[in-house]
Amino acid sequence: MSAASRAKRHQPDMDVTVLEQTDDVSYSACGMPYNIAEADREIDELVVRKAQVFRDKQGIDLLTGHRVEAIDAGRKTVAGRTASGEAFRFSYDKLLIATGGSPVLPDIPGIGLPGVTALKSLGDGRRIKKYLAAHPVKRAVIVGMGYVGLEMAEALRSRSIDVDMVKPGPVLLPWMATELSDTVKKELEDNRVGLYAGHAVERIESVDKRLAVHCAGQTLEADLVLIAIGITPNSGIAVAAGLATGPKGAITVDRAMRTSDEHIYAAGDCADAYNVVNNERVWVPLALRANRAGWAVADNVCGKAVELPGIAGTAVFKVFDLQVARTGLTPDEAAASGFDPVGAVIRARSRAHAHPGSCTITTHMLADKQSGRLLGTQMVGKEGVAHRINAVAVALYNRMTVADFAQTDLAYAPPFGPTWDPMLTTANQLLKKL
Amino acid sequence: MSAASRAKRHQPDMDVTVLEQTDDVSYSACGMPYNIAEADREIDELVVRKAQVFRDKQGIDLLTGHRVEAIDAGRKTVAGRTASGEAFRFSYDKLLIATGGSPVLPDIPGIGLPGVTALKSLGDGRRIKKYLAAHPVKRAVIVGMGYVGLEMAEALRSRSIDVDMVKPGPVLLPWMATELSDTVKKELEDNRVGLYAGHAVERIESVDKRLAVHCAGQTLEADLVLIAIGITPNSGIAVAAGLATGPKGAITVDRAMRTSDEHIYAAGDCADAYNVVNNERVWVPLALRANRAGWAVADNVCGKAVELPGIAGTAVFKVFDLQVARTGLTPDEAAASGFDPVGAVIRARSRAHAHPGSCTITTHMLADKQSGRLLGTQMVGKEGVAHRINAVAVALYNRMTVADFAQTDLAYAPPFGPTWDPMLTTANQLLKKL
């Protein structure tokens, strides 16, 4: 929708048709856990702009309930079926694939039982809210321990639902340094979330109106099971049309968002991006990039050549009272890209010496030992983490060394940090290892 | 003290003598308003490291109560008097002038009355706390509306003291765009701080155990008068020794912190710096730069050549519930440096669409119309401002254009901001004017 809107703003006389399989467009998907946390809020509060507005105010031919099933790149047509089963076919001059991603569902018995669900679309959110309203849910099991799982743990706990989280891997957040992930773990435990890392889920059974989640060495009971083990790009029709795909099966796009077919663009969670640190293709399905890529497609289609530099992989999430943020590469990613990664983990205060209300901010900063380049940073703390990480993200775009970053003039006032910002303290310590 | 400590760490056998006119070293000066806000807290909580620790643990010959009155750069000696009146003289191989700044006191009748004070040294803070403890202070007048004045307004209001602020100039914060300074003004008014901009203070009188502050067209009554019209660099002994001074009379130093005499360094609030945006000398007395400059002096004296890139002029302060931050140049500064400044002021939300608890963040971003370079940013809001500004500060170090900054991958999660960070939204709007 961001591409469609921008294209119509650039060229009001352009015929812009949007084919959407559901009835929902333009909503804040990331807001769903926070909406689900409050029984009284309508899920439709998350709708940013209604379909009718796109049609009436912007002149976009927005067709909901239209599922595209095939692209004929030679004839430049797309074909599919409506929700009521009617076949359709449209021709295009330029096509944008913005099919998003779908939750990964493990192939285990019981995955289709009522009360077992994922959370990706607004429809999923709507279904979960209805289920919670209609059933006395006392206990939930969340399969997976990523962003969405952690946000949903908080949401369900705030509705006084007991929560257990389970995953096959042995570590809560394997991309984080232990000092940081242990802080997250403690926050979850302090909020009475049961953590069962290292238990593969084998099957889900319906037992006496409840659900039994059978894992390797553990059975967890629940009234609701949320599957949150990640998403996968919806690149099926792109693959079938012969378009190139790359990391995780996402559609390969160049910096102008063009696929391997010059008339077809891709943007959003179905498409890949360049990482600005290692210049490699990555698939990181995040909202800002999706919006930005939509704009870039509109610009390019309308003749205003735009190339996006890529992403730093900046992300932040809230786990109860904790802010968890990252940008750039992890040590494993850095090593795989040929860097010689060296890191420093430093605990610092969130406020100045003797200022009341201070908490600990733990920062893990990573550099390349050969070049001294800053490669990435992760931070955890109860305040001052979410926006601090942006300073490192900007540094990554500029390929700064840790030595240069350590000299930047960051804001200081006693309520907001120590004289030496935690990022600077970490950079100074990291410099000693370079 | 940061220079002395670091020099001893580098070279434990070096003779390091520190001559300090007061008895206080190594304290959080910026923390004083927050300490004064709480009657129960001891002012000495702000001491980071006691004099004895520097002597016993670090082997620094720290002489308090030693006021240096003259430098003989030819003979490489400094001379002065102790608090008890004894003359002293020390020779040096390398000298660091770290004399700081002094509050500017207007030359008006009554400036020396009891209850009329400035706030710069720990001694000032101690005196104000004692005065508040000993006198029934119901009302205070603050002369000046800068950082310290605003922080002290909050501190005194939190002790249920009525506060009036007065200054000769007509505008609260003249370096800010009106949309931003109006927000600060409203916050002060909402907290019942009387604002009297445009009234020059002419004299202060003692009347019936109270103080009468006579201004042009206005008389304000008070039990305490705080003078907070700014500070001036303590460069007198440097000037007398023939050292070069520059903006605001601060001691001129190169990027290695060397003055115009190769054996004399200067650091802290008495010395100047380069602004990284316009590469001009500026005098911005702030804590991080002072610390960093102290380290650089130690490094250079100990043979490890270090040059500091300069400052961006990043600063943040709290005004009751409001965070006010800036980095880089103001429009006036930009124009004076030969740029062609163009700005955009944008109001955005501090959290995502439909996320509860959101407030308004107002951002003023400035660019050079010719080159598209980002020149500075100011932000005001009740959350998410203090640390956001650092992203722009890092961009300034890298001389980024607004177009490039607008493409950076900043963190997003609904509790912490909209998908497009307020800084990105402002950059996007500013781009339309370039």
CB within 8 A of A93, min separation 6: which ones? A76, A263
Give me the residues paired with residue A345 across strands: A364
**Confidence grade of residue A22 (pLDDT, cut at 50, 70, 90):** very high
With a cut of 90, say whether residue A354 has pLDDT above it: no
The interface pTM score, or ipTM, of the predicted complex is 0.97
Q: Does A337 touch chain B (CB under 8 A)?
A: no
- Cβ distance B404 to A397 less than 8 Å, yes or no, reads yes
Q: In what order do the strands lie in the sheet with A224-227?
A: A116-118, A224-227, A139-143, A162-167, A193-197
B124 C-beta neighbours (distance < 10 Å), count: 18
CB within 8 A of B98, min separation 6: which ones? B3, B266, B267, B268, B270, B294
Contact B115, B131 (CB under 8 A): yes
d(CA B94, CA B110): 42
- Cβ distance A288 to B414 less than 8 Å, yes or no, reads no
**pLDDT value for A353:** 86
Q: Is B30 annotated in the active site?
A: yes
Instruction: Supply the pTM of this predicted model.
Output: 0.97
**Confidence grade of residue A135 (pLDDT, cut at 50, 70, 90):** very high
d(CA A193, CA A209): 23
Q: What pLDDT digit, counting tens, does each position of B370-413 carry?
A: 999 999 999 999 999 999 999 999 999 999 999 999 999 999 99
Across the range A408-418, mean pLDDT stands at 97
Q: What pLDDT digit, counting tens, does each position of A65-93 carry?
A: 999 999 999 999 999 999 999 999 999 99
Please name the helix (run of DSSP H) or strand (run of DSSP E) that holds residue A139, with its range, or none: strand A139-143
Angle at which helices B178-190 and B147-158 pack, to 10 degrees? 20
Chain B residue with Cα closest to A388: B387
Across the range A290-301, mean pLDDT stands at 98
d(CA B173, CA B165): 13
**pLDDT value for A299:** 98
Please tell me which of the candidates A311, A388, A393 has its beta carbon nearest to residue B387. A388
The CA-atom distances, in angstroms, between B318 and each of B147, B164, B169 are: 8, 18, 22
Across the range A235-240, mean pLDDT stands at 98
Low-confidence residues of chain B: pLDDT under 50? none
Nearest to A398 by CA among A333, A295, A328, A297: A328
d(CA B58, CA B12): 8
Residue located via tokens 């009835």: A23
Give me the residues paired with residue A79 across strands: A70, A89
**pLDDT value for A36:** 98
The most distant pair of C-alpha atoms in chain B lies apart, rounded to whole Å, by 70
Q: Which residues of A touch B288 (CB under 8 A)?
A: 409-410, 412, 419-421, 424
B244 C-beta neighbours (distance < 10 Å), count: 13
B383 C-beta neighbours (distance < 10 Å), count: 20
3-state secondary structure of B349: strand
d(CA B88, CA B77): 10
Q: List, as ranges, residues 396-425 from B with C-beta within 8 Å of A.
A: 397-398, 400, 404-405, 407-417, 419-421, 423-424
